[in-house]
Amino acid sequence: MNSPRELRRRIRSVSGTAQITRAMQMVAASKMRKAQEAALAGRPFVHMLYLIRREATSHMGDFSHPLLEVRQVRKRAVILIAADKGLCGPLNSNLFRLAAEFHPESTVFIAAGRKAAQFIARTHRQLAAEFEYGDTPTFPEARVIAGFARDLFLKREVDGVQVIGTRFVNTLTQQPLSLQFLPIGEINGLKIPGIEPEAEPSPDDTEFVFEPSPEVLFGYVLPAYLNIFMYQALLNAKASEQSARMVSMKNATDNAESLIKDLTLEYNKLRQGNITRELLEIAGGQAN
């Protein structure tokens, strides 16, 4: 049985932990709102860009672009987008479980976030590059990551690029996804995180005229599409991270408060029992 001193020490310790988790919950909640608004605000634009790209590539005729080239995959690059910090529930572990499915000898990793780089180093996998992105991801950060992966593909150092990230659904739900990044195509349907898949375009005989030329048009549209893809993936990752951390810290705070109540009840019962025993001893002494 615990002594009153031990119970008081445990109550103080758990109370200190609860103060820390409550503060982290409040910080995550303030960051979460901004991150969620950013992830949701860009979805209509990203959706429209996807429809434009899909319509254009389905009517491009005999023209071919290197970013659309489907090759036999001998070497693959995986862009792993994880959090910079822990304490966000199973968010990172779910992503790492997907990353572990790729064969380490035929896969090189591009890490986005400290936890992603730590996982790659811990599992002794090949790291091609490591990138950081802040609490508010910026388009230049996404453009650098997308450009590095695009260069690997165009130089034929890899035959395909996959993105492992998180799709933000709501505060309580974040879905880990493994999505094809390169070559650009329709293998997995719509591959922009946070946008619902659309039905495949119906075939028609409409003739499209590209001005000034298909080379110039697709040379601009396809890299821009990949940059926006990566930017939306970073926004979804950050919204998912802050949401998961807020929920995790709230659960930790609630558990700490529940434990404090149980310890306080046990302390009061023990204290009351000691007082009753002392009163009985006094009463017994007076009777003798």
The one-character DSSP state at 117 is: H
Residue 189 has a pLDDT of 39
Residue position matching structure tokens 């998961």:
244
Provide the pLDDT confidence category of residue 1 given band limits of 50, 70 and 90.
Answer: low
Residue 249 has a pLDDT of 93
Catalytic residue positions, numbered = 88
Does residue 286 carry a pLDDT above 80? no
Smallest Cα–Cα separation from 84: which of 135, 128, 125, 123?
A: 135
Estimate to the nearest angstrom the gap between the alpha carbon of 215 and the chain centroid: 35
Residue 106 has a pLDDT of 92
**Where is 182: in which H helix or E strand?**
strand 173-182
Task: Round to whole Å and give the CA distance between 150 and 168.
Answer: 25
**Taking the model in full, what pTM does it have?**
0.84
Residue 276 has a pLDDT of 79
Give the SS3 label for residue 67.
helix
pLDDT digits (tens, 9 = 90+) for 231-243: 999 999 999 999 9
pLDDT digits (tens, 9 = 90+) for 136-179: 999 999 999 999 999 999 999 999 999 999 999 888 889 999 99
Task: Round to whole Å and give the CA distance between 214 and 130.
Answer: 34
Task: Round to whole Å and give the CA distance between 8 and 11.
Answer: 5
Decide: 126 and 43 in contact? Cβ < 8 Å.
Answer: no
Provide the pLDDT confidence category of residue 287 given band limits of 50, 70 and 90.
Answer: low
- Asked whether the CA dihedral 130, 134, 136, 140 is positive or negative, the reply is negative
- The CATH code for residues 27-246 is 3.40.1380.10
**Backbone phi and psi for residue 112, each to the nearest 5 degrees, phi listed first:** -125, 105
**Where is 173: in which H helix or E strand?**
strand 173-182
113: region left, alpha or beta (phi > 0 left; psi from -120 to 50 alpha):
left
**Backbone phi and psi for residue 284, each to the nearest 5 degrees, phi listed first:** -65, -35
Residue 187 has a pLDDT of 39
Residue 238 has a pLDDT of 94
193 versus 95: the higher-pLDDT residue is: 95
Question: Which ranges of the chain would DSSP assign to H, the alpha helix?
Answer: 4-41, 43-58, 91-99, 114-122, 139-154, 214-287
Domain boundaries, the chain: 27-246
Bridge partners of residue 163, in order along the sequence: 79, 179
**Backbone phi and psi for residue 275, each to the nearest 5 degrees, phi listed first:** -65, -45
pLDDT digits (tens, 9 = 90+) for 29-82: 989 999 999 999 888 888 888 888 888 877 777 778 888 888 899 999 999 999
Smallest Cα–Cα separation from 55: which of 178, 183, 203?
A: 203
Decide: 183 and 153 in contact? Cβ < 8 Å.
Answer: yes
